[in-house]
């Protein structure tokens, strides 16, 4: 069983090219800009368009959230905001949680930043929080995301047919998950 109190302390996790830092109000402008990016919206299947004030409120309250971890992905060196990620839907009895990540613009993709950020948060999830399982949903057309998740040790566990209706077409999504020992194996 994992201790949900551990989620109150939001970590800073440093890698070679990215640093994950607690998401705060100072990230509002960059986060809001990412919600307007059409390609990021398509890849994440985000229908809802939040207002600036909603994004500000979201960023400002993340540090106090008792049951999830929301971190900004910042570039190293320089500290520019390049995206954000979350561990959410914690199930303490079964030691599992959901994961999501979005770089904030397509110009930041394809440079290894998402892979490094995913490895850092998985290291934290398994090593510090004591999770056994981390799962996610990804649209079946999002081949770049699927490649990164596979490289980090995730496997496909199932397919949700027609789960996304986007621009008049329906798309499947995949359930992927990684267990503690998969991560250890993928990190060797
Ligand atoms: C998904 C995401 C986090 C991946 O991070 P990233 O930094 O762009 O990815 P990386 O540069 O670390 O790795 C990309 C990998 O995908 C591979 N790839 C890219 N396009 C591909 C395609 N069409 N088919 C197969 N593999 C592909 C690349 O070859 C690379 O693998 P390699 O390093 O072994 O060659 C990031 O692209 C992102 O946030 N995109 C926008 C939002 C999004 O899609 N979020 C995920 C929702 S589930």
The whole-number pLDDT of residue 117 equals: 98
Question: What mean pLDDT, rounded, does the chain reach?
Answer: 97
User: In sequence order, what are the beta bridge partners of 139?
Assistant: 173
Q: Does residue 169 fall inside a structural domain?
A: no
CATH number at residue 83: 3.40.630.30
Strand, helix or coil for residue 90: strand
**Owning domain of residue 85:** 4-132
Calculate how far, in angstroms, residue 51's C-alpha sits from the geometric centre of ligand 1: 28
Q: What is the pLDDT of residues 52-89, one digit of tens each?
A: 999 999 999 999 999 999 999 999 999 999 999 999 99
Confidence (pTM): 0.97
Contact between 73 and 84 (Cβ < 8 Å): yes
Q: How far is CA 174 from CA 155, 164, 183, in A?
A: 10, 11, 19
Residue 143 lies in a domain: no
Q: How far is the CA of 53 from the centre of ligand 1 (A)?
A: 30
Distance (Å, whole) CA 79 – CA 106: 18
pLDDT by residue (tens digit) across 137-148?
A: 999 999 999 999
Q: What is the DSSP letter of 5?
A: G
User: pLDDT at residue 188 above 90?
Assistant: no
33-53 pLDDT per residue, tens = 999 999 999 999 999 999 999
Instruction: Name the nearest CA neighbour of 55 among 80, 83, 35.
Output: 35
Q: Look at residue 23 and tell me if it is in a domain.
A: yes
Which residue has the least CA distance to atom 18 on ligand 1? 144
Structural domain total, the chain: 1
Give the C-alpha distances (Å, rounded to integers) separating 118 from 46, 71, 78, 134, 153: 20, 11, 20, 11, 10
Tokens, residue 171: 């798309």
Q: Coil, strand or helix: which one is 145?
A: helix
What is the three-class DSSP state of 3? coil
Where does residue 112 fall: left (phi above 0), alpha (psi -120 to 50 degrees), or beta otherwise?
A: left
- State the Cα–Cα distance between residues 184 and 72, nearest whole angstrom: 25
Report the share of the chain in percent with pLDDT over 70. 100
- Note whether residue 98 is domain-resident: yes
**For the CA of 151, the nearest atom of ligand 1:** 34
**pLDDT score of 130:** 96
Query: Which residue, judged by its Cα, is nearest atom 14 of ligand 1?
Result: 110
More confident residue, 2 or 26: 26
Q: How far does the centroid of ligand 1 lie from the alpha carbon of residue 145, in Å? A: 4
Which ligand 1 atom lies nearest to the CA of residue 103? Answer: 39
Residue 71 lies inside a defined structural domain of this protein: yes
The mean per-residue pLDDT over the stretch 112-122 comes to: 98
Strand bridging mode 96-103 / 133-139: parallel
């Amino acid at each position: 069983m994992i201790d949900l109190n551990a989620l109150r302390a939001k970590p800073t996790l440093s890698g070679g090219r990215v640093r994950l830092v607690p998401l705060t109000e100072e990230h509002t402008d960059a986060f809001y800009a990412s919600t307007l990016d059409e390609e990021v919206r398509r890849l994440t299947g985000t229908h809802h368009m939040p207002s600036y004030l909603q994004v500000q409120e979201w960023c400002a309250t993340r540090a106090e959230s008792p049951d999830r971890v929301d971190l900004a992905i910042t570039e190293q060196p320089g500290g520019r905001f390049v995206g954000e990620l979350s561990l959410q839907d914690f199930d303490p009895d079964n030691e599992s949680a959901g994961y999501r990540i979005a770089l904030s613009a397509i110009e930041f993709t394809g440079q290894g930043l998402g892979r490094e950020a995913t490895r850092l948060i998985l290291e934290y999830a398994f090593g510090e929080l004591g999770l056994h399982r981390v799962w996610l949903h990804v649209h079946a057309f999002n081949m770049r995301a699927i490649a990164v998740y596979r490289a980090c040790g995730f496997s496909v566990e199932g397919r949700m047919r027609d789960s996304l209706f986007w621009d008049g077409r329906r798309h499947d999504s995949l359930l992927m998950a990684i267990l503690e020992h998969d991560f250890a194996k993928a990190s060797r």
